[in-house]
Amino acid sequence: MASDPLRVLVVDDDAGIRHTLRQVLDEAGMTALDVPDAAGALVAIRSKAPDVMLLDIRLPDLDGAEVLRKARQISPDLPVIILTGHGSIEDAVERVKEGAFWYLTKPCGQREILAVVGKAAREVRRTRAQQQPLEARFSLLEMMGTGDKVVSLAREIGRVAPTDFSVVIIGETGTGKELVARAIHLQSRRAESEFVAIDSGAIPETLIENELFGHERGAFTGADRTQPGKLELASGGTLFLDEIGNLPLTMQAKLLRVLQEKRCFRIAGTAPISVDVRVVVATNQPLDVFSPASTFRSDLYHRLSEYVIRVPALRDRKEDIPFLADRFLRATNDELGKQVQGFSPAALDALVAYNWPGNVRELRNWVRRAVLVADEAVEPSHLPGAALALELAAAGPAGGPAPGGLPLKDALRMHTEEVERRALREALAAAGGNKAKAARQLGIDYKTLYNKLKKYGIAVE
């Protein structure tokens, strides 16, 4: 807020009042957003993250008290200034008692508007400055969105973070599992110590032991100095093991022993090293430890799964797509020095309708590419999956009929599978049939690639 223009959301069903307020705020160097009803206000709070809201107490779709309650659920520190007529001052005062910042009586004078908005802005700055530094550095809601599922996820994190429980995070590739792990660390008593991350699926089996435990000088050819392992570096803090299902069985046994004994040995080392580490792990699918074909030790799983968190796929929290798309657009504008203004309604409809097999990571890539080629606003033709996006935008709301008479959910599934097949074949071709290399290019682990090839019957030449 200190450097960016103040973002003020005006909510009033009177177009003339909205125009006047927008003009006053714009001339004062603020960014004014305006909507005519409660539904638009709640969407704008989620997607535009305003700093202050001017709210008409009488709206066509919801009472001011209900809007205030919902707004505070989405953004607890958003100052809400009630706009009221002379006959509703008592109601406005009641809303202030319920948590509104202040109220203004229509018609409002320009100086009065700017004074109250400025005071609200200073108050929210003061409140945020008083929050713990670690909370200021990291907010799950600012990163992932403010939909019901993310709010529930943040509540779970707040419950387990202050403990020393080991945590298993389950979620598809690209859903933000590492963000969740970092949130757990930053809200824990270990927050001042290190957060150390290892991608278990990206490190060859021959190197994973050295990565975890380190080595002594002379342990092997080329070991010209002692090197501590990640377990040692994370002592006092949090060790995050991504794609834990890919950890070799020999390493699973050694990790279990470390967790039980709270000590480890470097390769070729003889002196035990004490480690006080909280372990958080992630997997893109549940570890079926009870299956006879399972390659994951059940005793290690039970040691790690003192608490289990499931991260929802993006297709299951589509209310966050406008917020995420806007956040990625603004970040890419800053990176490229551009001023793309936003998304056309058709482009936004296409983003919401798409099924996002690659989740938030795929959405970020789409938006970055779109901002690169767009000039004023992002249109469906700027999206990487332009043909698919145009079909989805034309299909109407989710659940409605799609072209050809198919329900949209079936059309989405068919399109998604075709996109996945094409991406798999192209990656394999580019990697010369090397599945490990193709998996890295696609940003997925080897096991996921193997399962998808099997699902689609794609043979590697």
Do strands 307-310 and 167-170 pair parallel, antiparallel, or not at all (unpaired)? parallel
Ordered strands of the 80-84 beta sheet: 31-35, 7-11, 52-56, 80-84, 102-105
Which range of residues forms the domain containing residue 451?
413-461
pLDDT the model gives residue 100: 87
Clarify whether residues 209 and 82 are in a common domain.
no
pLDDT the model gives residue 182: 93
pLDDT the model gives residue 415: 60
Closest Cα partner for 141 from 69, 238, 76, 53?
Answer: 76
Structural domain contains residue 346: yes
**Which residue shows structure tokens 């983003």?**
351
Clarify whether residues 254 and 327 are in a common domain.
no
pLDDT the model gives residue 146: 81
Query: Which segments of the chain have a pLDDT < 50?
Result: 1-3, 129-138, 397-406, 408
Structural domain contains residue 406: no
Alpha-carbon distances, residue 323 vs 49, 50, 145, 237, 450 (angstroms): 8, 11, 6, 32, 33
Clarify whether residues 166 and 292 are in a common domain.
yes
pLDDT in tens, 81-134: 988 875 567 776 777 877 888 888 888 888 889 989 988 887 776 665 444 434
Dig out the tokens for 65 from the structure.
Answer: 């008290």
Structural domain contains residue 278: yes
Q: Would you call the peptide bond into 107 cis, given omega within 30 degrees of 0 as the criterion?
A: yes
Q: How far apart are CA 444 and CA 365, in angstroms?
A: 15
Alpha-carbon torsion, ordered 151, 153, 158, 163, to 10 deg: 170
Clarify whether residues 117 and 29 are in a common domain.
yes
pLDDT the model gives residue 3: 45
pLDDT the model gives residue 166: 96
Clarify whether residues 63 and 163 are in a common domain.
no
Boundary (domain end) residue, out of 312, 346, 371: 312
Residue 57 backbone phi and psi in degrees, to 5: -75, -20
HEC string of 26-91 equals HHCCCEEEEECCHHHHHHHHHHHCCCEEEEECECCCCEHHHHHHHHHHHCCCCCEEEEECHHHHHH
pTM given for the model: 0.60
Clarify whether residues 50 and 36 are in a common domain.
yes
Closest Cα partner for 198 from 264, 276, 282?
Answer: 282
Q: How far apart are CA 40 and CA 43, in angstroms?
A: 5
Alpha-carbon distances, residue 138 vs 134, 142, 202, 242 (angstroms): 6, 8, 26, 20
Boundary (domain end) residue, out of 107, 130, 153: 130
Clarify whether residues 353 and 299 are in a common domain.
no
| Number of compact structural domains in the chain | 4
Structural domain contains residue 405: no
Clarify whether residues 144 and 215 are in a common domain.
yes
Dig out the tokens for 148 from the structure.
Answer: 């019901």
Clarify whether residues 319 and 296 are in a common domain.
no
End-to-end CA separation in angstroms for the chain:
55
Structural domain contains residue 368: yes
CATH number of the domain that residue 326 is part of: 1.10.8.60
Does residue 132 contact residue 284 with C-beta atoms inside 8 Å? no
Boundary (domain end) residue, out of 292, 312, 332: 312
Does residue 440 contact residue 202 with C-beta atoms inside 8 Å? yes
CATH number of the domain that residue 81 is part of: 3.40.50.2300
pLDDT in tens, 384-402: 765 555 555 555 544 444 4
Alpha-carbon distances, residue 9 vs 4, 33, 52, 328, 364 (angstroms): 15, 5, 6, 20, 25
Clarify whether residues 272 and 419 are in a common domain.
no
Structural domain contains residue 230: yes
CATH number of the domain that residue 455 is part of: 1.10.10.60
Structural domain contains residue 404: no
Residue 5 backbone phi and psi in degrees, to 5: -60, 145
Max alpha carbon distance in the chain (Å)?
85
Q: How far apart are CA 295 and CA 305, in angstroms?
A: 16
223 torsion bin: left (phi>0), alpha (psi -120 to 50), beta (else) = beta
Q: Is 391 helix (H, G, I), strand (E, B) or coil?
A: helix
CATH number of the domain that residue 235 is part of: 3.40.50.300
Clarify whether residues 216 and 96 are in a common domain.
no
Clarify whether residues 379 and 430 are in a common domain.
no
Q: How far apart are CA 330 and CA 325, in angstroms?
A: 9
Q: Is 222 helix (H, G, I), strand (E, B) or coil?
A: coil
Dig out the tokens for 36 from the structure.
Answer: 């005519």
Structural domain contains residue 41: yes
